[in-house]
Amino acid sequence: MTDQLTDRDGPRDECGVFGIFAPGHDVARLAYFALYALQHRGQESAGIATTDLGGNIMTLRDLGLVSQVFDEQKLRSLPGDLALGHVRYSTTGSSAWENAQPVYRSDTRELALAHNGNLINAVELHSELRERGVAFRSTSDSEIIAALLSTHPAEKLEDAVADVLPRLRGAFSTVVMTREKVVAFRDPHGLRPLAIGMIGDRYCVASETCALDIIGARVLRDVQPGEVVTIDGGGISTRIAAEGERRAFCVFEYIYFARPDSRMNGTVLQGARGRMGEILAREAPVEADLVIAVPDSGTPAARGFSRASGIPQDDGFVKNRYVARTFIQPGQELRKHGLRLKFNPMPEIVEGKRLVVVDDSIVRGNTTRQIVQMLRDAGAKEVHLRITAPAIRNPCYYGIDMSTREEMVAHGRETEEEIAAELGADSLHYLSLDGVYEAVGGQREHHCDACFSGEYPLPGTPGAQDKHAFENALPLVRT
């Protein structure tokens, strides 16, 4: 049993992207606010690129949270009419400064690029580019997309994108910027989200609608799978560059990754999570005195469980809001206390009670194991775990950095009883996949649920990606 939280706990989110074409607006500041709203998607690095129409592209990026990377002075040093923003969780390439985004390249076309997702044919494309003499400054798959576009002979960026898009395999919700325009595109399976907004008579795109809301943009719609959206002085234009064999939107976005106030495919996530809790109460009822959530992302589901079961809900924990979503590895002394820094149980509320503890997911089980122990130490009589996702037994190759299969607590444990015993709980039930789709109001054949089911929507996926594939592949050109 591990008694500490490390930076490897939890599903490490993915990335958040933002792009805006808005002469007359303070685009760097709008990008900064948007990134603040997307911070939960990536906490390793943050960056913004801006340009005046026809001017130079300026990029400022660094390791750390948005609030650590940017201050007033730095935002003022980024004037412009167009901007891109990115927050990163690494999935290909280490968590190094070189891999922070936006990626900048100026081969035959100067551009900046922000990418959420993960390619599964990165190795193949990388060798092809290297054979053509292309040098890389980073070890991420995102620079491969940037290099393909920057070296592409087409005069217009959107034509280059339309030509390159069908050659990329995997997940890519991407925003690219030249001195004149912003082009956004999404993989033909629509694995990762990307939405279009309008601010005044100008357009912007963001990974989640919550980022559009907070900058005062009106949400127009999602970018369609395989769609290329061009935003410039002429407004907005669009084309479909590739049709996927099937849609495969990541169902885990609904369960955990995205913010509850975001809307995806017409569904408000807060509502979907509440329904997941309601359905779980129906699928796995339990005699108990109190429902408590594992904050933050377990909270809407716990409300739903309470509603459907009639068991009252209360806050069993106070969560320190200043601890990052996925824990940054603390120093030795703090590591001993691990999770206590993040959650403090309330003995007054849980003592002597039979508790239903609702969380959205279990990966390695570190969070859950320690939550159960803390509640028992605080005097809980029984602890019944109810999780609003099926058991996670398979890695993600599409932009989420999950633990390896061996690290997953459900690995090698076939039954809920075995997992409950490992976590020290009196009972444990996961929401069924049917339950997830009922809550989401979507069809399974339009989604990806591979981390639960092992059925990868893109042929040839498992084993396709090694996170550090390019780490030693080349001497980095450091600038």
Q: For 256, which DSSP code?
A: I
Q: For 253, which DSSP code?
A: I
Residue among 14, 50, 13 at smallest CA distance from 32:
50
- Residue pair 17/174 in contact (Cβ under 8 Å)? The answer is yes
Per CB under 6 A, does 256 bind ligand PRP? yes
Closer to ligand GLN by CB, 47 or 188: give it.
47
Phi, psi of 247 (to 5 degrees): -80, 155
Q: Residues 358-397: x/- map of binding to ligand SF4 (CB under 6 A)?
A: --------------------------------------x-
Closer to ligand SF4 by CB, 35 or 451: give it.
451
What number of other Cβ atoms are within 10 A of residue 108's Cβ?
A: 11
Q: Residues 107-146: x/- map of binding to ligand PRP (CB under 6 A)?
A: ----------------------------------------
CA distance 63 to 181: 27
Indicate the helix (H) or strand (E) that contains 416.
Answer: helix 416-423
Per CB under 6 A, does 439 bind ligand PRP? no
Residue entry with tokens 């943009």: 217
Which of the ranges 118-126, 350-358, 366-374, 427-435 carries the binding residues for ligand PRP, by CB under 6 A?
366-374
Q: Among the options 15, 37, 182, 183, which is catalytic?
A: 15
Residue from 451, 464, 465, 470 binding ligand SF4 (CB under 6 A): 451
Per CB under 6 A, does 39 bind ligand PRP? no
What number of other Cβ atoms are within 10 A of residue 33's Cβ?
A: 17
User: Is 15 an annotated catalytic residue?
Assistant: yes
Per CB under 5 A, does 297 bind Mg ion? yes
CA distance 136 to 130: 8
Tokens encoding 450: 């591979």
Per CB under 6 A, does 452 bind ligand PRP? no
107 annotated among ligand-binding-site residues: no
CA distance 315 to 57: 48
| Alpha carbon separation from 410 to 113, 421, 428, 432 (Å, rounded) | 37, 12, 12, 15
- Residues near ligand PRP (CB under 6 A), total: 18
Show contacts with ligand SF4 in window 134-193 (CB under 6 A): 191
Among ligand GLN, ligand SF4, Mg ion, none, the one that 368 touches (CB under a kind-dependent 5 to 8 A) is none
**Which residues lie near ligand GLN (CB under 6 A)?**
14-15, 88-93, 99, 115-118, 140-142, 399
What are the residue numbers of the active site? 15
Chain contacts with Mg ion (rule: CB under 5 A) = 297
Annotated binding site for [4Fe-4S] cluster: 250, 396, 448, 451
